[in-house]
Copies of this chain bind each other. A is one copy, B any other.
Amino acid sequence: MTSISPTLEAEARRIVAALETAWNEGNAAAFAGEFASDADFVNVRGDHASGREAIAQGHDHIWSTVYVGSSVRYAVTQVREIAPGVGLVHVDALLRVPSGPAAGDTGAIPSLVLVQRDGAWKIASFHNTHRRRE
């Protein structure tokens, strides 16, 4: 579709900013709160989590282990309305891990599918892939 709802564009940016803030504060409830209750999440390892609660627990786990002390920067690169009331969002992500086996900066490209639930925009699907360095 060639046009996009100003509401969707704004909501996509709000949701991605909220995820970034939640990650950087280690706030799993806030992070998962942007997802629909039955959302699907595929992480950079190819693990598939189903549901808001599993998404919260998974992030609590990584923030206390492999990604402890980490921070992210997210930039929205594209928002499309692929069906009425359904947004497809692509993000340029940079993860900074201060120490441990994953220490360093890693790029990734998550895509999000946004839907409307009870009058609010929520993430129905989040799928993430590391960018490979040549």
Contacts and interface: CB of A to CB of B under 8 A. Distances in A.
Interface residues on A, range: 20 to 34
A127 to B, nearest CB: 4
B113 A40 contact: no
A127 B124 contact: no
A111 interface: yes
Interface stretch (A55-63, A66-74, A83-91): A83-91
A132 B43 CA distance: 11
A52 to B, nearest CB: 14
Contact of A90 (B40, B83, B108, B131): B40
Given A40-B88, A45-B129, 9 more contacts: A38-B80, A48-B77, A48-B90, A82-B125, A83-B85, A83-B115, A88-B125, A113-B113, A128-B129
Interface of A: 1, 38, 40, 42-46, 48, 77-78, 80, 82-83, 85-86, 88, 90, 107-109, 111, 113, 115-116, 124-125, 127-132
11 contacts: A40-B90, A40-B111, A42-B127, A45-B131, A45-B132, A46-B129, A46-B130, A83-B116, A88-B125, A113-B125, A127-B127
